[in-house]
Amino acid sequence: MTELVKNIADLQRQLDEKQKLIKLSCQDWADDDTRIKELAKPFGVDTDGDGYAFKGMVEVVEDLCSKLKQAEAQCAIDAARKDK
């Protein structure tokens, strides 16, 4: 019986450790998501999504890349006009 109790206690300890790791991983993801959205906002990226769902990180980064490409193209146009 004591061996069974010992095994159960060991399994519970392992489970507690795994739960802590999962919690830390989720917190890291949430912090990264929030920080990426904060960094994207000054570039005019809508980070809130629509009324049905929040924008995911990939969509925010895609929108940010699109904005940066547009800005790059505009800079090239402006530079070409200056040279004329």
Q: Is the pTM of this model over 0.75?
A: no
Instruction: Read off the pLDDT of residues 45-77 as tens digits, 9 standing for 90 and up.
Output: 888 876 667 788 889 999 999 999 999 999 988
Question: Nearest CA to 34 among 49, 52, 47, 46?
Answer: 47
DSSP 51: S
Residues 6 or more apart whose Cβ sits within 8 Å of residue 59: 49
Angle at 16 between CA 18 and CA 24, to 5 degrees: 50
Q: Are 45 and 60 in contact (CB under 8 A)?
A: yes
Cα–Cα distance measured from residue 28 to residue 11, given in angstroms and rounded to the nearest whole number: 26
